[in-house]
Amino acid sequence: MPNILVTGADGQLGSEIKSLVDSKNFYFANRKIVDIQNQKALKDFLHDNKIEVIVNCAAYTAVDKAEVEQSLANEINHVAVKNLSVISKERNIKLIHISTDYVYEGTNYKPYKEDDITNPQGVYGKTKLDGERAMLKIAPANSIIIRTSWLYSSYGSNFVKTMLKLGQEKDELGVIYDQIGSPTYAKDLAKTILEIVPKIKNSTPKIYHYSNEGVLSWYDFAKEIMRLAKLSCKINPIETYEYPTPAKRPYYSVLNKSKIKKDFGIRVPYWKDSLFDCIDKIMSDGL
């Protein structure tokens, strides 16, 4: 088993990976343990711990705040990825970097493939795309980018946990029905990452898509959350303009997952099955 560094260890995906492994070969780091924006600190950590694989889950994900905190979003989503890529190439470290559906314009009519044209509509998406481009330009071997969408987990803050909390407090809620995509249970993505790490063998970085199977709106998602949690809160469909946000959201961000399934032989769970598992865990642990 190689020594593996997981950055962004306190986030949803990092926490899910930590919950799945029981190995001294894994190093889970937040910014206090190693600042990936600091090249020297990063190099020292990688050297001292003989790291052979990096799974970069660290990201600035506050989509609306990114419109104001542009420099910070760029440092984490772009500059830090550039640092990781340079060092990975220098030391022949395998790098798995997590990106987002926000790199697309969100106006497609069929699921986005990895080579479709990117056109992010906000600072968050632009900085994530800049991170991807830096990694592709530096081109560390045995490395991949995984774009995902609508991430949720029993850990951290996310749409599922917000809906469960509001569903217990309110009689009804308005949820957007004209934004379409696919949710991703972070535990499923974590399992996939752990499964494919030993299989990654490529001379230059490749891009892959991963989300759960199925297509739905945020409204559909909220309705299913209430049903599974047996909450009586009524969900009303609203349009995007009725819930204005500083950052523009993609109207359509369904990802085509054929490439990752073909190259690594993985099975992708259906979104309702994964949501059931996640809610069951949240209820067991206590919201």
Residue type, 218: W
Active site residue 124: yes
Compute CA 1 distance to the chain's CA centroid, rounded to the nearest angstrom. Answer: 25
Cβ neighbors of 230 (< 8 A, separation 6 or more) are none
Cβ neighbors of 90 (< 8 A, separation 6 or more) are none
Compute CA 107 distance to the chain's CA centroid, rounded to the nearest angstrom. Answer: 20
Handedness of CA 184, 186, 187, 191 (dihedral sign): positive
- Polymer length of the chain: 287
- Among the listed residues 71, 87, 4, the one whose alpha carbon sits nearest the alpha carbon of residue 38: 87
From 27, 102, 104, 124, active-site residue:
124
What secondary structure letter does DSSP report for 64? T
Burial class for 285, CB neighbours closer than 10 Å (0-12, 13-18, 19+): exposed
Q: What are the catalytic residues?
A: 124
